[in-house]
Amino acid sequence: MDEASCKYHMIGGDGPNSYAHNSVYQKELIVSAEDLTNQLINSHLDTNKPPFDPRNTFRIADLGCSVGPNTFFAVENIIKSVENKYKKSNRTTQNPNINHQTPEFQVFFNDLVNNDFNTLFKNNLHTSKKSYFIAGVPGSFHSRLFPKESIHFAHCSTALHWLSRIPEEVRESGSMAWNKGRVHYFGAREEVKEVYSVRYKKDMDDFLSFRARELVDGGLMVMVVLGFPDGVVASESSMGVAFGVLGSCFEDLAKMGKISGEKVDSFNLPFYYPSPSELKALIEANGMFDIVRIAKLAAPMRVKPDPRIVTAHLRAVIGELIEEHFGSNGISIDELFKLHLQKVTNSPELFDEEYWKETNYFVFLKRK
Ligand SMILES: C[S@@+](CC[C@H](N)C(=O)[O-])C[C@H]1O[C@@H](n2cnc3c(N)ncnc32)[C@H](O)[C@@H]1O
């Protein structure tokens, strides 16, 4: 299964299980990144450069945008910051030859081909202030998406932990990295984490190299990356507990004869969570960007997580992936997540601050 063929996308539409209604966590992250984004656009966007193009259009790409409304908050904040910077530059410039006229904005919303772009556009019409032109760009951000040097600002929030594919070794019974009985590398043998990490490095390198070609000289990029601080044992985190709960739900359904053990063993989540030093080393090794800032963001939803929200968020993100793997006749998604909710409700670690170790990193880059 690779990203071209699998359902690597959020639950679409506007229903109760949709991503649009179950993504407050991701929205809070976008909100907590706003101030830093504003400050750094103000200090690093160079409005003295000649007009970006003859039509004075400023192009923004949101990579892994999903269906909204979060993506609109993110891009509208970027637009506001860029406009402010132009207005400020206009007030302060003494040089009559430099025209800091505020550009027009074009926003490209990118996600995988199976993303529900119809809902995205409907949500955009209903919820956004619409001071910009929009276009959808289906395709993987691990590949080329835009003409060279055509984008001024790229944004990517809570999407880069998605690998382009699951490392094959984790499903091979003869491999040292065979991940039988687990849904993820958390708590597994070192070899399992290693093959996930190799895949992540390759994916991030591709992501950075393609963006470097697409961004203009001096173009800026913000990434919000879900990870773990250096030295933290991820299996002893609330995310580790949540993935363990998911694995035990599959085992229960297999014991009841509702799904095959083989299908359970071959199910692995395509996520990798780097530490900040790992991330920094990857960006430096790629060599195409200057790191302007890497900062820890405030942790979202840390006040008494509601078990129903924990389960609903997970379902909105991986529901399609599970159906794809088990086949829509092979598993009842409602039954699986009912069981998940029961187990989450009875997992006190999930509500214990000691386990809240996952951390989100804000990364601001400038193309060299
Ligand atoms: C958790 S959602 C985040 C959505 C949005 N950025 C937000 O903050 O609400 C992750 C998104 O990344 C998308 N995604 C995952 N891998 C991708 C890839 N290789 N290329 C483009 N989008 C991808 C998924 O389809 C999903 O919509």
How many angstroms is it from 64 CA to the middle of ligand 1? 3
pLDDT tens string 54-107: 668 999 999 999 988 899 999 999 999 999 998 888 776 666 555 667 899 999
In a domain, 107, yes or no: yes
Q: Using pLDDT thresholds of 50, 70 and 90, give the confidence band for residue 349.
A: confident
Domain that holds residue 50: 21-367
Mutate to test the pocket of ligand 1, among 5, 65, 78, 314 (most ligand atoms within 8 A of CB): 65
- CA gap 85, 79 in Å, rounded: 10
How many angstroms is it from 50 CA to the middle of ligand 1? 33
What is the 8-class DSSP label of residue 125? Answer: H
How many angstroms is it from 65 CA to the middle of ligand 1? 6
Q: What are phi and psi of 210, to 5 degrees?
A: -65, -40
In a domain, 363, yes or no: yes
Please give the number of the atom of ligand 1 that sits closest to the Cα of 3. 19
pLDDT tens string 122-168: 887 776 667 899 999 999 999 999 999 999 999 999 999 999 999 99
Closest alpha carbon to 267 in 171, 162, 159: 171
Q: What is the CATH number of the domain that holds 142?
A: 3.40.50.150
Q: Using pLDDT thresholds of 50, 70 and 90, give the confidence band for residue 5.
A: very low
The percentage of residues in the chain with a pLDDT greater than 90, rounded to a whole number, is: 56
Cβ proximity of 265 and 254 under 8 Å: no
Side chain identity, residue 338: K
Paired residues of 339 in beta bridges? none
Cβ proximity of 323 and 7 under 8 Å: yes
Mutate to test the pocket of ligand 1, among 63, 67, 109, 112 (most ligand atoms within 8 A of CB): 112
At 54 the pLDDT is 60
At 6 the pLDDT is 47
Which segments of the chain does DSSP mark as H helices, in order?
A: 24-44, 70-92, 117-127, 190-214, 238-255, 261-265, 276-286, 307-326, 333-345
How many angstroms is it from 111 CA to the middle of ligand 1? 6
Mutate to test the pocket of ligand 1, among 9, 127, 144, 161 (most ligand atoms within 8 A of CB): 9
Q: How many domains does the chain have?
A: 1
Whether residue 252 is predicted with pLDDT greater than 60 in this model: the reply is yes
Please give the number of the atom of ligand 1 that sits closest to the Cα of 157. 6
Mutate to test the pocket of ligand 1, among 9, 66, 165, 269 (most ligand atoms within 8 A of CB): 66
- CA gap 178, 168 in Å, rounded: 9
The token pair at 343 is 């187990």
How many angstroms is it from 95 CA to the middle of ligand 1? 43
Look at the alpha carbons of 165, 180, 320, 162 in this order and tell me if their dihedral is positive or negative. negative
The token pair at 3 is 């990203």
Side chain identity, residue 84: N
Measuring from each residue's beta carbon to the nearest atom of ligand 1, which residues come in under 6 Å? 3, 8-10, 23, 26, 30, 63-66, 70-71, 110-112, 115, 140-142, 157-159, 162, 164, 317
How many angstroms is it from 63 CA to the middle of ligand 1? 7
Side chain identity, residue 123: N
Higher-confidence residue: 149 or 302?
A: 149
How many angstroms is it from 159 CA to the middle of ligand 1? 4
Q: How far is CA 297 from CA 32, 225, 280, in A?
A: 7, 10, 16
Averaged confidence pLDDT in the chain? 88
In a domain, 13, yes or no: no
Q: Using pLDDT thresholds of 50, 70 and 90, give the confidence band for residue 16.
A: confident
Query: By alpha-carbon position, which residue is closest to atom 5 of ligand 1?
Result: 65
The token pair at 60 is 């923004």
Cβ proximity of 313 and 23 under 8 Å: yes
Whether residue 336 is predicted with pLDDT greater than 60 in this model: the reply is yes
